[in-house]
């Protein structure tokens, strides 16, 4: 099985009639993804690209049993859309938009946690499991069915990790983008725990970034997992940033946590730490059967 989403996941798309949503929906509908509904306000149409339309997430859930939502709404409307999805009982929410206000994301985190839901984003390519489900903007032709799980804080390097996995002759079980913005809605720890239990994942690739303490917390989580599947880590960012030119999320650590600090945290718990993302396929080859 994949983690979080599979062919049985019933997906509703919020903001389905927008230009970007329509473009990506055509690709999503060519995959096994089970899109059961779309939500758009003030429309007289009953469907869009063959997907039934509803005026609210609640109505869509009641009619179709949707349990996951993919958001194609502008950044200022993300909080309202997420709250609507949670209030309707949705447990997996993916937001593509970038530039969502930080205070909105903080409120979303609290609402998501209280509801026991999972929020991927903002500014994420989404989540994808080959031959199962694509909730996001992945090029499904890039993915190859396999047993490597990928979780990343960098959209661009998520694609690079996929290509490196393919170059090694391996494929992906599930690819998860946590989001590129200052605050991510979900954590590495949650994904590591899910990959630990996933029988179709043998190896995990984690792409971290400078800023915040996401990676240190993930290293601590990995140290305490009962089943330690091989973990390969790459941290993106400059090695020696001065305090006054740090990433925005460095305010959480006052610019004192460096890339090397994050790498060292993973080395201490037995992870394979890369200095270059292009070395990923070589690191994966040692696990190829």
- How does residue 1 score in pLDDT terms, banded at 50, 70 and 90? low
- How does residue 245 score in pLDDT terms, banded at 50, 70 and 90? very low
Least confident of 30-44, 119-133, 158-172, 255-269: 255-269
Residue 240 has pLDDT above 70, yes or no: no
> Is 142-285 a domain of CATH 3.40.50.261?
yes
Distance separating alpha carbons of residues 89 and 58, to the nearest angstrom: 8
- CATH code of the domain occupying 10-120: 3.40.50.720
- Mean pLDDT for 84-108 is 97
Q: What mean pLDDT is reported for the chain?
A: 92
Distance separating alpha carbons of residues 85 and 119, to the nearest angstrom: 11
Q: Distance from CA of residue 198 to its chain's centroid?
A: 16
CA gyration radius for the chain?
19
In the chain, CATH 3.40.50.720 sits at 10-120
- Mean pLDDT for 79-98 is 98
Among 271, 97, 234, 260, which Cα is nearest to 160's? 234
Distance separating alpha carbons of residues 204 and 216, to the nearest angstrom: 16
What pLDDT does 248 receive? Answer: 45
Residue 257 has pLDDT above 80, yes or no: no
Sheet (strand 231-236) strand order = 133-136, 126-129, 172-177, 145-152, 203-209, 231-236, 272-274
pLDDT digits (tens, 9 = 90+) for 16-48: 999 999 999 999 999 999 999 999 988 889 999
In the chain, CATH 3.40.50.261 sits at 142-285
For the chain, percent of residues with pLDDT exceeding 70: 93
What pLDDT does 219 receive? Answer: 97
Contact 14, 81 (CB under 8 A): yes
- Mean pLDDT for 122-150 is 95
What pLDDT does 239 receive? Answer: 57
pLDDT digits (tens, 9 = 90+) for 152-211: 999 999 999 999 999 999 999 999 999 998 899 999 999 999 999 999 999 999 999 988
Task: Specify whether the backbone of 33 is left (phi greater than 0), alpha (psi in -120 to 50) or beta.
Answer: beta
- How does residue 242 score in pLDDT terms, banded at 50, 70 and 90? very low
What pLDDT does 247 receive? Answer: 47
- Mean pLDDT for 253-267 is 81
- Mean pLDDT for 132-153 is 95
- Mean pLDDT for 95-104 is 95
């Amino acid at each position: 099985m994949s983690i979080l989403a599979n062919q049985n996941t019933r997906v509703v798309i919020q903001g389905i009639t927008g230009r970007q949503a329509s473009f990506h929906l055509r690709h999503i509908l060519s995959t096994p993804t089970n899109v059961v509904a779309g939500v758009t306000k003030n429309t007289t149409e009953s469907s869009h690209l063959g997907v039934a339309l509803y005026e609210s997430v609640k109505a869509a859930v009641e009619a179709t049993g949707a349990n996951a939502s993919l958001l194609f709404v502008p950044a200022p409307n993300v909080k309202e859309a997420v709250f609507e999805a949670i209030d309707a009982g949705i447990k997996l929410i993916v937001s593509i938009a970038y530039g969502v206000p930080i205070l909105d994301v903080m409120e979303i985190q609290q609402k998501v946690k209280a509801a026991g839901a999972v929020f991927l984003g903002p500014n994420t390519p989404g989540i994808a499991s080959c031959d199962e489900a694509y909730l996001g903007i992945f090029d499904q032709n890039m993915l190859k069915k396999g047993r490597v799980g990928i979780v990343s804080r960098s959209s661009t390097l998520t694609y690079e990790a996929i290509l490196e996995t393919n170059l090694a002759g391996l494929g992906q079980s599930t690819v998860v983008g946590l989001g590129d913005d200052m605050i991510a809605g979900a954590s590495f720890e949650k994904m590591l725990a899910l990959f630990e239990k996933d029988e179709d994942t043998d190896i995990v690739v984690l792409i971290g970034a400078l800023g915040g303490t996401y990676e240190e917390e993930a290293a601590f989580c990995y140290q305490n997992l009962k089943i330690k599947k091989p973990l390969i880590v790459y941290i993106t960012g400059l090695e020696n940033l001065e305090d006054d030119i740090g990433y925005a999320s460095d305010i959480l650590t006052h610019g004192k946590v460096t890339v090397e600090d994050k790498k060292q945290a993973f080395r201490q718990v037995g992870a394979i730490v890369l200095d270059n993302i292009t070395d990923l396929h070589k690191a994966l080859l040692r696990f190829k059967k």
